[in-house]
Amino acid sequence: MTNTLKYGMPFFSYKGKMFCYLWIHKKLKEPYMGIVEGKHFDEVFLIQENRSRTKIMLFDVNEDLPLKQIEIIIRKAIDLYKTGIVKI
């Protein structure tokens, strides 16, 4: 996995494919992690909004990061690429 700045935000890629990114929600003013292939996930804590592929995971600035949930989502997302569901 590598990271770069893309569209002015920290973006992480897996084998050259956009994977996830960190940003601030414009309306809610809260940080979030965007999962590019989020459409493949049905976890209740991921939000689709008006995005076609991406789902986001909002973070409460007053609480610790939900590391277990983050780890689960990252592992599932990597598996999408490893299994060929998302072409590399």
This prediction has a pTM of 0.85
What are residue 35's phi and psi, to 5 degrees? Answer: -105, 115
Q: E strands of 1-88, at which residues?
A: 2-6, 9-14, 17-24, 31-35, 55-58
Largest CA distance in the chain: 38
Beta carbons of 16 and 73 less than 8 angstroms apart: no
Domain ranges of the chain: 2-82
Beta carbons of 14 and 32 less than 8 angstroms apart: no
Could you read off the pLDDT tens digit of each residue along the chain, which spans 88 residues? 666 666 677 888 888 888 899 999 999 999 999 999 999 999 999 999 999 999 999 999 999 999 999 999 999 999 999 999 988 8
Task: Tell me the one-letter amino acid at 64.
Answer: D
